[in-house]
Chain A
């Protein structure tokens, strides 16, 4: 041990270089920046929703009393719940067998099913609604016309009415099925087939082994997928609006149009609480994942099961899904987009490309596209930057309360776009938000997009950082780089593929954003989605709207293809960084 005298000879002058533990200038800046961004973009809107429901010219529960005595709002709540439950249940019924079929059996059409699931997730919900309305509208819907002709019915309406709760469920179903499917397939693919084989050796048949071993193991993933489908169904705005179904999101907008802020706030609170409960449940399922973790770190080649007579049934289910999620609605939309006159049906004389010409040359559409693209690009850039910084603070620094940042950053997942839009109106119409003057400008749309998409940035940022062993960064420090130099030269280059992938993902999701945009846009600012709806609602005709919709769908799909390629590169990087 060093004696006291020896300690006294320690050169105190050189201690001027010492820093307080764990807080270099850069990490302090990053933490400060994280707190400020998350409070402004997430904390404030969420607080505004709850506060405005109990404070109108003073603290009061009046708004809740009014809500409970309003048949319309209660019906809307009930409708929201019915639709969300219906979608969650049906998503499991269709999604689970398909996931099993694709991951573990010898069924046909696997690639097509997988591709359709991904298309269903990225394609804007209102496009499917357009396709369904054209196809199954009670009077002129092509499916109805055809069915009436086939069965010789005399009526002028039906037999299918898409403008109903069931119609809404059907419209949003492809999306819900995709959530369940994508939650289940990795879990199924990673399951050690020995677990099933052990059951077979004990005398279970193939199907019994699935029932007794596979299904219980898949339960958390299944529930997580269903709860996600439930929450996104609650949050959807486009389809119920277009189908004329009164749900909570639509009520919020209607209340705002009537300047009834009290009703809007309570509707928003109810919506946030419902999706909060669902997503809380989903996280709980995934937290217990370890208990159900079947993957021991090595890759299995999952054994394919021959289900015998059940295989054609699965294939039929796959065909059904591909039809309702993609072929029928988009087929109808493409067909209509090529028609001179909608009433004249599908024939060569009625074919034209004029609708596309109109879309591509229309000044207001071009303006809307430009606005959406620039908003989406700005949102993606800021989201990625905030995502990296916040993830860094959460995972690589020792600040107290950094787990609070983690929770704050995922909060918006439970706040539907309409509710965020409402909150931003409350904040930026009143003091002190009104001092910014962003209400009614494109900037408020940007703020809404940030609130909606920051969770994606932070989550992907954390996933990326978790892949990089801290030693990789620590070695850079030891070899003479500051914390900030290490971030720029080591960490960022290594997570760059994930950064690019995340940027593209947010860009793709922000371009057709509807539920917040439609509430927040100013009189002269149209985004792609709102301008499409106004074309659809009569400004330009259904055929032009369809051509417009097809253009959006194709662009979004192409962008996603690029993102997926980048994502694949990052999967390669993963093996790379660990080695």
Chain B
């Protein structure tokens, strides 16, 4: 990255890398964020995802300059924004943000809301007016320019908030669970609009959410957080296909976890026993003392056949009894008690029609390449 070029072009819309370096944040004894490092390459959209209390919103607020750091640093391009000794105040960071509550100013019209940041930047009235109608046109709200926030629906308020965030062409765009107050249909629609706008403008973006669907659909990169730490980061496909822990596997998508007794393993694969069955899985090396390990296999990766059918070559194979069958439109959900140690119930999803009844003996087959070794320490429980 060329620091000199970035500095000379401070005022233009020049996408910049955003970096968090070993950032800590504690409130008294409570450690909200415990040393995270995140790279947001210029022009890309990175999602922070995790359950509530994982530190994702605190992280976003630190990026915005709304929270001071306990230690570590945040930089944009070559410019230091925050470290333990202080912070560039939010108003001088040149960022745009969409808040969870939208945070539109109720005493200002749509035009005044969107034009506020431009006015602060010192643009003249005609430029402000032109830019405001440009961005309102982008979000399809140009007809509502004179309305007040209280006269708009939730989705419309969201669009205005989005227009306000991009109006001043910020270097960085921040989203704090912007869709969580919308209903499901609108949420899906807005998801695409946000992604579209972000890519069109090429603004470096950070998107906080607790919804895996949003994170998968929107992001170039997903950062999964838990208890103030980054558990895993990668492209949506990486996170989904190669989850490192049971937490990630369960949080991004549905999964089954199996506890296996280790038989043999190397860098690429491991073989373990599950009762009388041998299960082969792909994944990272484990240390020599490991007796048991966990694997994850997604419900949609398992195919069902009658227990009497002959095994498919190269596939892992378990046997079990169907307990429950749930039909939810596009998907049939089977819950299957497996023959093996403990009371392991696996979930299997297939497309309709349902081919087995409760009580039926079935064989479960799944690809070793799709069976992923997890890094968790085994404590004897499966999901």
Residues of A within 8 A of B (CB): 1-2, 7, 9-12, 14-15, 17-22, 24, 469, 471-472, 474-483, 485, 490, 493-494, 573, 576-577, 579
Residues of A close to B39: CB separation below 8 A: 2
Residues of A close to B311: CB separation below 8 A: none
Q: Does B130 contact A (CB under 8 A)?
A: no
Q: Are B106 and A577 in contact (CB under 8 A)?
A: yes
Q: How far is the CA of A382 from the CA of B90 in the complex (A)?
A: 31
Q: Are A2 and B37 in contact (CB under 8 A)?
A: yes
For A17, A471, A472, A480, which residue has the most chain B Cβ atoms within 10 angstroms?
A480
Q: Does B335 contact A (CB under 8 A)?
A: no
The 6 closest A-B CB pairs, nearest first, are A480-B120, A21-B68, A479-B117, A471-B103, A1-B37, A477-B90
CB distance from A305 to the nearest CB of B (A): 36
Residues of A close to B285: CB separation below 8 A: none
Q: What 16 additional pairs, Cβ within 8 angstroms, besides A20-B86, A481-B116?
A: A2-B19, A10-B73, A18-B80, A18-B87, A19-B88, A22-B68, A469-B103, A471-B99, A474-B90, A475-B97, A478-B66, A478-B174, A483-B89, A485-B120, A494-B105, A579-B149
Q: How far is the CA of A202 from the CA of B313 in the complex (A)?
A: 67
Q: Are A576 and B80 in contact (CB under 8 A)?
A: no
Pick from B82, B95, B97, B107: contact of A493, CB below 8 A.
Answer: B107
Interface of B is mostly: mixed
Residues of B close to A18: CB separation below 8 A: 80, 82, 85-88
Q: How far is the CA of A1 from the CA of B3 in the complex (A)?
A: 18
Residues of A close to B213: CB separation below 8 A: none
16 contacts between A and B (CB under 8 A): A10-B80, A11-B7, A12-B80, A21-B86, A471-B99, A472-B103, A475-B97, A475-B99, A476-B116, A477-B66, A478-B91, A479-B168, A482-B91, A494-B106, A494-B107, A573-B106
Q: Are A478 and B97 in contact (CB under 8 A)?
A: yes
Q: Indicate whether A471 sits within 8 Å of B100 (C-beta atoms), given known contacts A478-B64, A479-B117.
A: yes
Residues of B close to A482: CB separation below 8 A: 89, 91
Residues of A close to B100: CB separation below 8 A: 471
Q: Does B261 contact A (CB under 8 A)?
A: no
Q: Indicate whether A579 sits within 8 Å of B150 (C-beta atoms), given known contacts A22-B68, A472-B105, A474-B99.
A: yes
Q: How far is the CA of A14 from the CA of B75 in the complex (A)?
A: 11
Q: How far is the CA of A20 from the CA of B7 in the complex (A)?
A: 23
Residues of A close to B21: CB separation below 8 A: 1-2, 7
Q: How large is the interface on B (under 10, 10 to 19, 20 to 34, 35 or more residues)?
A: 35 or more
Residues of B close to A15: CB separation below 8 A: 80, 86
Q: Does B355 contact A (CB under 8 A)?
A: no
Q: Chain A: which residue is nearest B92 at the CB level?
A: A17
Residues of A close to B93: CB separation below 8 A: 478
Q: Report the number of A-B residue pairs with Cβ-Cβ less than 8 Å.
A: 119
Q: Does B210 contact A (CB under 8 A)?
A: no
CB distance from A498 to the nearest CB of B (A): 13
Q: Does B381 contact A (CB under 8 A)?
A: no
Q: Chain B: which residue is nearest A6 at the CB level?
A: B19
Q: How far is the CA of A9 from the CA of B66 in the complex (A)?
A: 25
Pick from A10, A11, A24, A475: contact of B103, CB below 8 A.
Answer: A475
Q: Does B211 contact A (CB under 8 A)?
A: no
CB distance from B319 to the nearest CB of A (A): 46
Residues of A close to B298: CB separation below 8 A: none
Q: How far is the CA of A573 from the CA of B149 in the complex (A)?
A: 13
Q: Chain A: which residue is nearest B19 at the CB level?
A: A2
Q: Indicate whether A11 sits within 8 Å of B90 (C-beta atoms), given known contacts A479-B116, A576-B150.
A: no
Residues of B close to A24: CB separation below 8 A: 89
Q: How far is the CA of A474 from the CA of B86 in the complex (A)?
A: 18
Q: How far is the CA of A18 from the CA of B85 in the complex (A)?
A: 9
Q: Does B56 contact A (CB under 8 A)?
A: no
Q: Chain B: which residue is nearest A493 at the CB level?
A: B107
Q: How far is the CA of A417 from the CA of B49 in the complex (A)?
A: 57
Within 40-86 of B, Cβ neighbours of A (below 8 Å) are at 64-66, 68-69, 73, 75, 78-80, 82, 85-86
Residues of B close to A478: CB separation below 8 A: 64-66, 90-91, 93, 95-97, 174
Residues of A close to B273: CB separation below 8 A: none
Q: Are B91 and A477 in contact (CB under 8 A)?
A: yes
Q: How far is the CA of A485 from the CA of B120 in the complex (A)?
A: 10
Q: Chain B: which residue is nearest A11 at the CB level?
A: B78
Pick from A14, A480, A579: contact of B117, CB below 8 A.
Answer: A480
Q: Report B146-168 CB contacts with A as 1/0, cut-off 8 Å.
A: 00011000000000000010001
For A20, A472, A476, A479, which residue has the most chain B Cβ atoms within 10 angstroms?
A479
CB distance from B210 to the nearest CB of A (A): 17
